[in-house]
Amino acid sequence: MITSDDGLPPRLGGLTFHGPLSEERAERLLRRIVASGPADVLDIGCGWGELLLRVLDAVPGAKGTGIDINAEDLARGRALAAERGLADRAVFVEESARGTERGPVDAILCLGASQALCDPELPHDPAEALRELRRLVRPGGVVVLGEGFWERTPTAAELAAMWPGASTGDHFPLGELVDLAIGAGFRPAWIETAGRDEWEAFESGYRYETELWLAAHPDHPLAEETRERVDRQRSGWLKGYRNVLGIAYLTLVATA
């Protein structure tokens, strides 16, 4: 697909997951969540909720709620739930996760979205996000957290090429991130990190359909704006956080 139904640049239609997550790793995460036998699942910053829907499909009777502020992604999630016969057990809600009262639940998914739990007026604070996750999950419940960490300290040039205002304080090294999880009341049952193939598949897939659209519509009224955006995104990855920023997938169990 190189155009959307309304003629606008396509958005993320080629991605299964909104992050550097392979099918193989997703299946392993799924098995660990399913083994806990959750009755209710909360997906924070769910996007279209692909992993949430897979959990519900694998745990008959479980119910799930996905919350996000992107209406387009939520509509995609509802459509996927209907296609898979899960519309009666999956609810997608357009709302902020900040201070949410949609807990406690047996399992939480928070993949690359912990900022949704933090004060938007302050720098991102993984420690605050982890405390919120612990508040929202029952003792013995499972949280799957996808969180950024520094593979190494970025240079000044790399920081300048990343997102606006990027600083070394935006993330922690992996060991410190895991320590924060333990301090928030979790045990780290499983620790894994996205590989280069997963990153490259996500980063290229993130822009793939838009690049095809740009090649086919160089004179479209939105082409210049779209081209500047995707060029900036690609440069931020290739010249900034590639091989510097990692994504950890932590399977955390809430202590009693």
Domain assignments of the chain as residue spans, ordered by start: 23-198+235-254
Looking at residues 37-55, what average pLDDT do you find? 98
Looking at residues 22-47, what average pLDDT do you find? 98
CA-nearest of 155, 152, 195 to 171 is 152
- pLDDT classification of 95: cutoffs 50, 70, 90: very high
Inter-residue long-range contacts of 130-135, CB under 8 Å, 24+ positions, other chains counted: 130/180, 130/181, 130/183, 130/184, 130/186, 131/184, 131/185, 133/44, 133/108, 133/184, 133/186, 133/252, 134/184, 134/185, 134/186, 134/254, 135/103, 135/104
Q: What's the predicted TM-score (pTM) here?
A: 0.94
Confidence (pLDDT) at 188: 98
Q: Is the pLDDT of residue 1 over 90?
A: no
Confidence (pLDDT) at 5: 53
Confidence (pLDDT) at 189: 98
Q: Return the CATH superfamily for domain 23-198+235-254.
A: Vaccinia Virus protein VP39 (3.40.50.150)
- pLDDT classification of 3: cutoffs 50, 70, 90: very low
Looking at residues 88-98, what average pLDDT do you find? 97
CA distances from 160 to 114, 131, 225, 240 (A): 23, 31, 21, 7
Question: pLDDT tens digits, residue range 192-251?
Answer: 999 999 999 999 999 999 999 999 999 999 999 999 999 999 999 999 999 999 999 999
